[in-house]
Each structure stands twice: as structure tokens, then as C-alpha cells.
Amino acid sequence: MLSPDKLTNAFAKVEEENWLLRGFLKEQSPNQVDKIVNRLHQEVFSKIDCSACSNCCKKIVPILEEKDIQRISSKIGLTSDEYKDKFLVADDDGLGIKEKPCPHLGENGCSIYEYRPRICREYPFTDQKRTGVRLINLIENCSVCPAVFEIFERIKRYYKVEFAEFKDEQQIFSWGGEGDDLCEEFEEWEVESEFFDKEDWAGLVQYRYSRVKDYPEQFEYQWSLGEAYVLNKEYEKAIFYLYPLHKKHPEDPNVQHSLLDAVFAMGKDETAINWIVQPTILRLNAVVLNLCYRFLKGKRKPRTVEDVYLELLCEGYLTFDANQLMMLLLSDNRFSVTVGNEKSYDSYVKVSKNR
């Protein structure tokens, strides 16, 4: 893995190729891209010591939520207002740390690690869903985070043959044309983020509806409108809209999962849909426990319950959250679970010694 001081030069050499990779990934199934990036995240971060790197804490200023401010200020003996005055400044994105490197960065890494801001816990976002819409940000992060840089290199190796063919097809790579596309997509991403941040699902439906009208052939736009109907609690409409898409793309997990979101939200189960291809649905039972056991067996270091949950996300549709998974793991003596304050994020699990 590259050390942070080598990253700027290394990134300069691969930047153009990384943008091409992004074009290639956009043509793959979003769910598959999520699976691969999430798996690589586990692999890469199991070998990296963030406290010895801390490059993100030196190069990026985190934006804090009100909950972060309350938690951190109370732990360090300040009122929220005192904390804001001392450490934060407002900009278009919200309240962010005033300076770089972050003043909470100590000699051995983050001095407020256990109660650090949510965004610091989630950075660099490679273990989350919907990686496809974050690709622009992730590429920018290749020059900051050695792990993200490595994940991109491993994606290239994973898709070695297909990506080589894709590059051959792009006989002339024009920065001009591509630049226009990038701007458009970045704007799209920004608009979407705003709807998500404000939980303005009606606005999201309208926005995505207009995109489908403009690009009626784009499958991704079609599915994402269905997803917006679900978020806006228009479940019947979502099913009516998504089912023909499922018939056309019966194996697509995004469509399958949005249909499941809709039927479950209506208090029904999966039999309400006449599936062309049955989705994999995971429930809190022995199957899930065995999958967790398979994943954790042979691993020397414990994993957070959140990590295990993300691993399961690659296996199918989950009908439970990470904290419910933790309770299930606690009930099985094959696992040893250390429960933390923030539940799944800082609770660790491993296979018990005698197993």
C-alpha cells in the first residue's frame, strides 16, 4: 500500500485511467459495483492502520452534524456554543472544522476517536451502498486516501479483461466532451444529495420523473424513479411502475430490492410479487448465522458488527438492521461479541476461541 506522501505523484499517473474506469463502472450493474467496492473495502482496510496515516484528517475538513457537536463538546467539557466558537466555521455545506490539519488530530491519531463525527466514521464511504453515485468523489479521494487509491487499483485488476476492452473501444479519449458529461453528472449528484439530506422525497420523485422523461431509455433512471416512489411512501405506484422493469431485467437486484421495500412497507411479504427471478432474502435465522460464521472463521482480528452487516449486504436483501444482527450474534455461542456504546459501529465480533 502506498504511503500518503507518495500519493500525489502516484495519482497524477493514474488519474486519467481512473476517470475511464468510472465510465466503465457506470455501465456495470450498480449492485455489482457496490458488492465489489464493499468487498475491496474490507480487504484493504484489514491491512491498513488509519492511526498511522491520518491523511484525511490533514487534508479534508469534516462537516459536523448537531448530534456530533453535542456529543463531542460534552465529552471535552465545553458547551455546544463554546465548541462551535472554538473549532467550527460555517460554509455552504454546513458547520465544518475551521482548519487543516484537524485540531483533534493528535500524535497517535484522532484524540476524540470514540466520539468523532459521523462523517469521519464513514469516510471514505467505500463500505456504503450506491457507490456508483459517489464515483466522482471517490476519484478525488484517490489523491488523499491510500486505501481508496488501492481499491481503485484492485477494481482495475478485478475487471482486467473487460476494462482493457473498454479502454480499446475509447479510441480517442476527449477531455472536452467527457468534461461536459462530468459537470452534468456532478450537478446531478449535488441535486440528489440535497433531496436526500432534506429527506424531500416528493421533490426527489419530481426530479427523477423529469430525468426519465428526458432520457426514457436509461434503465438506471427508470429504476431510480421507482426507488423514489418507495421513499415517498407511494408503494402501490412503485410496484405498478417497477414490476414491468423487473420483467424486463428479472435478475437486476436493485429493482428486486425496491419491489421488496415496497411490499414489506405495505405489511405484505415477498409472495405478493409474481417474481420472474426470485430475489435472495436474508432473515434473522440460522442461515445468516452460518454466513457470519463463514465470513469470520479464520480471521485473526475481530470485525465490527457493521462490517459483518455490510458483508451480508452482498449476499441478498436484508430484512434486519445491524443492531438486530448484533443481538442475533450474541445469542450464538460460536461468536464472541464485545458490545460498544454506539452499538454496531463499535461492537466487535469474532469466532469464539474453542470453535
CA–CA–CA angle 163, 31, 265 (5° rounding)? 170
Query: With binding defined as CB under 6 A, does residue 64 bind ligand SF4?
Result: no
Query: With binding defined as CB under 6 A, does residue 305 bind ligand SF4?
Result: no
Q: State the Cα–Cα distance between residues 299 and 303, nearest whole angstrom.
A: 9
Which residues touch 311 (CB under 8 Å, ≥6 apart)? 38, 39, 42, 291, 292, 295
Nearer to ligand SF4, 21 or 145 (CB): 145
DSSP symbol at 100: S
Q: Which stretch binds ligand SF4 (CB under 6 A): 108-116, 221-229, 256-264, 322-330?
A: 108-116
Query: With binding defined as CB under 6 A, does residue 145 bind ligand SF4?
Result: yes
Q: State the Cα–Cα distance between residues 126 and 147, nearest whole angstrom.
A: 9
Q: State the Cα–Cα distance between residues 349 and 60, nearest whole angstrom.
A: 31
Nearer to ligand SF4, 1 or 183 (CB): 1
Query: With binding defined as CB under 6 A, does residue 337 bind ligand SF4?
Result: no
Pair 319, 264: CB distance under 8 Å: yes
State the minimum distance, in angstroms, from the CB of residue 39 to ligand SF4.
17
Query: With binding defined as CB under 6 A, does residue 57 bind ligand SF4?
Result: yes
Query: With binding defined as CB under 6 A, does residue 95 bind ligand SF4?
Result: no
Site for ligand SF4 in 124-143 (CB under 6 A): 124
State the minimum distance, in angstroms, from the CB of residue 64 to ligand SF4.
9
Query: With binding defined as CB under 6 A, does residue 105 bind ligand SF4?
Result: yes
Q: State the Cα–Cα distance between residues 254 and 258, nearest whole angstrom.
A: 6
State the minimum distance, in angstroms, from the CB of residue 145 to ligand SF4.
3
Query: With binding defined as CB under 6 A, does residue 347 bind ligand SF4?
Result: no
Query: With binding defined as CB under 6 A, does residue 96 bind ligand SF4?
Result: no
Is 266 buried (19+), middle (13-18) or exposed (0-12) by CB count in 10 A? middle
The CA radius of gyration of the chain, in Å to the nearest whole number, is: 22
Query: With binding defined as CB under 6 A, does residue 117 bind ligand SF4?
Result: yes
Query: With binding defined as CB under 6 A, does residue 226 bind ligand SF4?
Result: no
3-class DSSP state of 223: helix
Read off the amino acid at residue 321: D
Pair 143, 11: CB distance under 8 Å: yes
Query: With binding defined as CB under 6 A, does residue 249 bind ligand SF4?
Result: no
Query: With binding defined as CB under 6 A, does residue 10 bind ligand SF4?
Result: no
Strands 348-351 and 303-304: antiparallel
3-class DSSP state of 276: coil
Nearer to ligand SF4, 271 or 341 (CB): 341
Considering only 11, 19, 37, 62, the residue that binds ligand SF4 (CB under 6 A) is 62
3-class DSSP state of 299: coil
3-class DSSP state of 22: helix
Q: Which stretch binds ligand SF4 (CB under 6 A): 20-28, 88-96, 120-128, 223-231?
A: 120-128
Query: With binding defined as CB under 6 A, does residue 238 bind ligand SF4?
Result: no
Give contact residues for ligand SF4 (rule: CB under 6 A).
Answer: 48, 50, 53-57, 62, 102, 104-105, 110, 112, 116-117, 120, 123-124, 144-147
